[in-house]
Amino acid sequence: MAYGQTGTGKTYTVGKLGKDDAAERGIMVRALEDVLASTMPGSDVVEVSYLHLYMESIQDLLAPEKASIPINEDARTGEVSLPDVSVVKVQDLNHFSDLLQIGETNRHAANTKQNTESSRSHAILMVHVRRSINQKAGDETASQEKDVKSNLAGGNGLPRVRKSKLLVVDLAGSERLDKSGSEGHLLEEAKFINLSLTSLGKCINAQAENSPHIPTRDSKLTRLLRDSFGVSTAGKYSSRVGDARHRK
C-alpha cells in the first residue's frame, strides 16, 4: 500500500509503466514481472482486476461503465470477491502494461471530471494466481505443509488448485482538513478519504497489537482488504496473506 500526503509521489511509485526504460517501472509492473517470471504457462493462470474506490463507491477501472459495484463475502470462508468486476487473464508483461494504462487513463478521467489532477480515489490492483497441482507435486507439497494436509483433496480425482491473491493499493492522498481549506464537494471527498484511511489505520493497529478483533467493517476499503487482514467470518484471524491455501 502506498500511503502519504497528496503530491508525495504515491501514484508515480506504484503505477509508473516505464515502457521505454525498465528502471522507471513502478511497483505494479515490477510485481507482475516477478509473478509472471515464476509462473508456468501450462499449469498457472494469472488474472488481474483493477478498480478504484471513490466516496465509498467502487468503479471498475478496466470497464468504467461498471460502477457502484457491491462487495461479496463468502459466509463460509470469509473470502472477499467482487463478482461484477472485470477479471482479465494476463498474457505477458506488455499486455499487463496496456491494461494498467487503460486503468490509469480511466482513473485520470474520473479525477478530471472531479476537477482535480490529484487522486481522490483509492486504486486497487488485484492479482489472482491459480496453479493446478498434479498428484506428484501435491504429494510433495503435502509433506512440506502438514498443517494444511487435511484440506487437500483426497483421492477423488478432482484437480487441485492453489490460489494466491496479491493486492497493490495506491491510496488517495491524506490531508489535514483544517490546513487544506477544502469546502463543499472537495470537503465531502476529503471526509470520505479520511474516514477510510482512519479505519485502515485502526485495522493495522489492531493487527499489530494481535487484537482478537480487526474492525474491517467500518469502511469499504477495509472490507475489500478483509481477507488480507486474515479475518475469518468469525472476525478472528484465519490464514494470513502469503500462506498457502488449498481448495478442491
> Which residues are near ligand ATP by CB under 6 A?
4, 6-12, 118-119, 172-173
Q: Considering the complex, state which of residue 147 and residue 183 has its C-beta at the smaller distance from ligand ATP.
A: 183
Q: How far is the CB of 159 from ligand ATP (least distance, A)?
A: 42
| Shortest reach from residue 226's CB to ligand ATP, in Å | 24
- Find the shortest distance in angstroms from Cβ 123 to ligand ATP: 9
Residue 78 or 173: the one with the smaller Cβ distance to ligand ATP is 173
CB of 194 to ligand ATP, least distance (A): 13
Which residues sit in the known binding site for ATP?
4-11
SS (H, E, C) the chain: CECCECCCCHHHHHHCCCCCCHHHCCHHHHHHHHHHHCCCCCCEEEEEEEEEEECCEEEECCCCCCCCCCCEECCCCCCEECCCCCCEECCCHHHHHHHHHHHHHHHHHHHHHCCCCCCCCEEEEEEEEEEEECHHHHHHHHHHCHHHHHHCCCCCCCCEEEEEEEEEEECCCECCHHHHCCCHHHHHHHHHHHHHHHHHHHHHHHHHCCCCCCCHHHCHHHHHCHHHHCECCCCCECCCCCCCCEEC
| Minimum CB–partner distance for residue 67 and ligand ATP (Å) | 20
Closer Cβ to ligand ATP, 9 or 154, answer by number: 9
Radius of gyration from C-alpha coordinates of the chain: 19
Tell me the binding residues: 4-11
Q: How near is the Cβ of 117 to ligand ATP at its closest, in Å?
A: 7
Q: Which of residues 6 and 194 has its CB atom nearest to ligand ATP in the complex?
A: 6
- Residue number, 25 or 226, with CB nearest to ligand ATP: 25
* Residue indicated by cell numbers 484437480: 159
Alpha carbon 126 to chain centroid distance?
4
8 A C-beta contact, residue 191 and residue 178: no
Nearer to ligand ATP, 6 or 81 (CB): 6
Grid cell 504457462 in the structure block, residue: 41
